[in-house]
Structure 1
Amino acid sequence: METPQEAAQDTLRQTAAALSDLGFTAKPGLRLARVRADLGDEIQLHLDHANRAGEVVRVRFSLALHSRAVRRWRRMQTHPELHADGPLAGIVSATQLAFAAGIAGRDFDVVEPDDRPLVAQIVAARVREVAISWFEETGDPLRALGTLGRPLTQGGPVNAKWIYTLALAHGHDAEARDALALQCVRHPAFAVEFARDVARIRAEGLTGGYRDTTEELAAFAVAAGIAP
Structure 2
Amino acid sequence: MFAVPTENSKPSTPYSELFGAAWAVFRKDVRAELRTRYALNAVALFAVSTVVAISLGLGPLTRSADLPLIHAALLWVAILFAAFTGLARAFVQEEEARTAAALRLAAPPLAVYLGKLLFNLLLLLLLDILTAALFVVLLRVQVGNATMFAALLLAGSLGLVAATTLIAAIIARASVKGALFAVLSFPLLAPLLVVAIKGTALALEGAAWARGLAPLQVLLAYTVALFVASLFLFGSVWEA
- Which TM-score band (shorter chain)? 0.3 to 0.5
Give the TM-score taking structure 2 as reference length: 0.32
Q: Which has the higher helix share?
A: 2
User: TM-score under structure 1 normalisation?
Assistant: 0.34
Larger % of strand: which?
A: 1
